[in-house]
Amino acid sequence: MFIVRQIFQISYQMIRKILIGISLFTYVYSQTDISNQLSVRYGDSDNDYNYSEIYLDTKLSLNREDYRLESILTFEVSDPPEIGLNANGLDRYLFGFYNDKLSFEVGDIYQTWGRGLLLNQLNFQNLDFDTGSKGLGMQFDYEGKTLNIIMGDTNSRKSTTVLGNYDPRVPNYFIDQFIYGADFSLDIAKFNIGAAFLLVDEEEKSLSHTLTNVRIDKSHQSGEFFMSVINKVSEKDSGDLEIFYPEKDGGGVYLSNTNYFKDWALTSSYRKFTIDVNNPVIRDNIVDNYGQALDLQRSPSGFYQHTFRLLSRNSKEVNLNDEVGVEIQLLGPINDNTNISVNYMKSSSSKQWYNGSGVLIGDWFSDKNSFLPSSRQGSYPFEEIFIELSGYNPQGNIFYKVGMDFQDQVFNVLSNSGEVKSFEITESFTLPFLVNIAVNPLWNVEVQLELQKLKTGFDTTIISDIDGIEDNYSFNSLLSEEYQKNLFLALSANYNQKWSFNLSHESTNSDESLLDNGQDESFDSSNDWNSLSLAYKFNSDHMLELFYGSIRGGLDCTNGVCRYIQAFDNGIRIDYSRNLD
């Protein structure tokens, strides 16, 4: 791996200089398309959720009959950013050459192989999540055959309570990796078959990972079938330490199938991931679990992505390390104006965990579950049913969505022995509603309402060993009330596709700061959050938005990537974006 890294560094610097030189020469002496996108974001609140960010994306492209040259430069000045580290200067860049059969890129590379189970490189600025690699990327296409090659350095970061100085807005854990690999796919008899490998080296940790993947994809007249299988082997060198690190060998399988019946669609998926299975004590320790799934891996599809505010906060990420899950969705029309969507999701860990007894009370043991998700509390079960109706009125000027959602989840297994069973659980019932009315050609009004009843805390049972005496059951809420009743109401209006007005109100009957004894600024002791905003669109790519008020903290998810966000308390936000061409 060391030799490969040295060759990469030499080749990367040489190829980058050549491409930059060609690009500059071409741009100077040829007619070039240039675009500049400016984004400015500012926030100032009473609880020190302050940020100042400026982004400039510059894109230069030269289109010719047989090829295209392109360069992308992203500059960032942030002190501090909303989430992440301060920046001042060039953040990302890319130089690329493209034609019908070949693409060649140098800089910040983002590739997805298959559907991302082995490699899915993403950049979500709003979550400070970036798994791109700075290096080389190539793709060759020829008569139904595709070869992708990647080589480069990745630098990801996150916030974790495992380490000291935890701050939900500032990362305290950093991962530096060197990756290289290839992906090959071809079309055979209406099947697309692919295979890939990826080698990952973490030099500072004396850690290496080898990932391999095979997959098959078939589309047919009545639907689509997809299957992907992955294996991951992690090896850690103890160096001069007298510590033995066992080889971690894990894997997983994902299957999905979609069938169309006239206007109806039935989609089902199954996944079983056992990349790094650990007991409840160390299950969530992202620092010491060296065999865990990598940030650049994603499940081909995850749990249903909710667009409603309260439901989105209850989103769940797929656990590539240890999860068995099924999902079923039925979607179709009830009549000419109304569609229904019925979604069922269930998952659990691959094992049931329990404590020993007597002198082994502090040890954890496990039994393997079947190939289907388990409902036993020692298996971290999750279950959700979501039903949604959506459609238009006969005149077509009113659109609506109304739903109903049930969720049950075991977050943590604290004890599961013959004497005491204790689990951290969450249960919720949510009713979301949205209506959008086109009042006339100039005015558009939208109302969104969500009602939610939520229960979260510790479910504990003390087992009685005396005949005639029943087990002692108790529930200790993490909130000031046993049931939290949440309400979210938003009213927005749009005038002439230029002006936008928004009022929002969110409230709860229960003080959620008790989730961390009032020590975590992600939550606040307020029971209501109000805000108003005004936006003006000068044209399609030039907009200004002003915001004043509060935003409740909690989970924020984008395309299956989730992060806890700090509350924003009584402050102003300014967002400005413009194409400078």
Q: Do 426 and 571 sit in the same domain of this protein?
A: yes
| Same domain as 89, residue 227 | yes
Domain boundary among 213, 230, 254: 254
Q: What angle do CA 314, 316, 317 make, to 5 degrees?
A: 150
Structural domain contains residue 180: yes
In this structure, the number of other CB atoms found within 10 A of the CB of residue 254 comes to 25
Domain-embedded: residue 512: yes
| pLDDT for the residue 75 | 94
- C-alpha 74/C-alpha 59 separation (Å) is 9
Write down the residue that tokens 């029309």 correspond to.
333
Show the tokens assigned to 544: 């200004």
Q: pLDDT at position 363, please?
A: 86
Q: 192 and 72: one domain?
A: yes
Question: Strand 382-392 to strand 364-368: parallel, antiparallel, or no bridges (unpaired)?
Answer: unpaired
Asked whether residue 560 is assigned to any structural domain, the reply reads yes
In this structure, of 32-41, 198-207, 343-352, 536-545, the range with the lowest mean pLDDT score is 32-41
Calculate the average pLDDT of the chain. 89
pLDDT digits (tens, 9 = 90+) for 169-181: 999 999 999 999 9
- Residues 20-49 pLDDT 10s: 555 554 554 456 788 899 999 999 999 999
Q: Where a domain ends, among 210, 230, 254?
A: 254
In this prediction, residue 9 carries a pLDDT of: 55
Same domain, 217 and 364: no
pLDDT for 549: 97
CA distance readout (Å), 206 to 155, 245, 397: 16, 11, 62
The total domain count for the chain is 2
Q: How confident is the model at residue 519 (pLDDT cuts 50, 70, 90)?
A: very low
One domain, residues 21 and 144: yes
Residue 298 lies in a domain: no
pLDDT of 29:
44
| Pair (560, 427) in one structural domain | yes
In a domain, 198, yes or no: yes
Q: Do the domain assignments include residue 173? A: yes
Indicate the residue among 204, 235, 254 that finishes a domain. 254
CA pair distance 44, 546, nearest whole angstrom: 12
Q: Is residue 386 part of a domain?
A: no
> Are residue 245 and residue 364 in the same domain, yes or no?
no
**Host domain of residue 218:** 1-254
Question: Is the domain of 244 the same as that of 366?
Answer: no
User: Residue 8 is inside which H or E element, if any?
Assistant: helix 2-29
Specify if 348 maps to a domain: no
Pick the more confident residue, 370 or 400: 400
CA atoms within 13 A on the CB side of 249: 2
366 with 227, same domain: the answer is: no
Number of Cβ within a 10 Å radius of residue 345: 21
Residue 6 and residue 134 in one domain: yes
Query: For residue 448, how far is the Cα from the chain centroid?
Result: 24
197 and 73, same domain (yes or no): yes
